[in-house]
Amino acid sequence: MRHLAEALNVSVMTPYRYFSDKDEILAAARVSGFDRFADALEAAHLAAEDCAGAARAVAEAYLRFAFENPAAYKLMFDLSQPNEAAYPDLARAGARARVTMGAYIKNLRDAGLLVGEPEIVAHVFWAAFHGLVVLKLADKIAPDVDFEHLWRELARTLTAGFAPLDIASETSEPNLSLFAA
Amino acid sequence: MPKSLSQTEIDDFRTRVISVAERLFAEQGRDAVSMRQLAQALGVSVMTPYRYFKDKDDILAATRASGFDRFAEALETAYDSVNDPVQRARMVGDAYLKFAFENPSAYRLMFDLTQPNEENYPELARAGERARKTMSAYVECLLGAGQLVGEPEIIAHVCWAAIHGLVVLKLADKIAPHIAFDRLWQEMQRALNVGFGPQNRLTAAA
């Protein structure tokens, strides 16, 4: 709390007029991150014309948010906060972010472009994108690998991997166009 | 003059330093750890670590090199345990997860920490390179067998990102509690195999 007050240039006691302790400030910071993240993904989703376009736009919005807000991103997805359940607004914002991340998967599934349990499919996509983001933030990706090409290949591969058999096995347009550059 | 140390004494102490440093660096981050704190955790005088290491970053580099080597050994053993390329990829993937979950501190220091002036530590560069090679060997093997089609480096990076994401989400306790981790891992492998499979590659090239 002392560090926070110093960085805010206020007296040590001032933050206590607004927050009960450090964990409450952390919870509020994470809530703000989740809500801004969900706003960005929802806006991308709404602006797209069809569900393939939405998937692409949401993926791009996810990466943009992560690279423009690396600190918020890490607090949201890389930090385990004790007693998370004690902050209802955090639970709400976290759940909202999860729903937003899963929405495009549901749409693709409804459109017959993906098969499988939506929650498993959404977690696989999420893990892969998250892995890409944190490797990039930690500067672990080989310098000769083009990041744009890498993430599009990742998206294309997983989309093909979850495509219905009749789409995956023939040279069918929808599957192809989904994440082609 | 301090008495001169035998090679065994040096090796034993270095191993102890690495195991203590692994935990401290992973828990607190590079900046928060001091030589004083390391000496305290080891139960030695503040000056003792300096007889073996130049500074904190030298200890961090040795710790990470040790992680990379142990990781590479685990993956190399898995790779050599079978001949079938598909089976081999599965064994290497399982060994990757096993290492990560049994050595979360080492794992984070290896793949989640950016060390300044990494290139100043040749041992670290060698071990890091060895680990990278082990992670892409199974991809080359699948490509050679015609099971996958594409650029080896891209395929290796995509598979790495996917499994790394799974590991760090699991370590941070972010995976929905009702989802079975094994199921998730199997579906990820299946989707990557199909997605990089020859039939999808022909499609993508068309």
DSSP code per residue over A102-122: HHHHHHHHHTTS--S-HHHHH
Reference B195, options A148, A58, A156, A17; nearest CA is: A156
| Contact at CB, B204 and A176, closer than 8 angstroms | yes
Q: What percent of chain B has pLDDT over 90?
A: 87
Cα separation, B120 vs B95, whole angstroms:
30
pLDDT at residue A181 in the model: 40
pTM equals: 0.92
Mutation site for A-interface testing, chosen from B149, B157, B185, B202 by largest number of A Cβ within 10 Å: B157
Tell me how close the Cα of B10 comes to any Cα of chain A, in angstroms: 32
Q: Is the pLDDT of residue A173 over 60?
A: no
Cα separation, B171 vs B109, whole angstroms:
13
pLDDT at residue B75 in the model: 97
| Contact at CB, B188 and A169, closer than 8 angstroms | no
Tell me how close the Cα of A93 comes to any Cα of chain B, in angstroms: 14
Please tell me which of the candidates B153, B168, B204 has its beta carbon nearest to residue A134.
Answer: B168
A2 vs B: CB within 8 A:
no
Least confident of A22-31, A132-141, B81-90, B194-203: B194-203
Q: Is the pLDDT of residue A131 over 90?
A: yes
Q: What angle do CA B25, B27, B29 make, to 5 degrees?
A: 50
B81 pLDDT band, cuts 50/70/90, is: very high
pLDDT at residue B15 in the model: 93
A5 vs B: CB within 8 A:
no
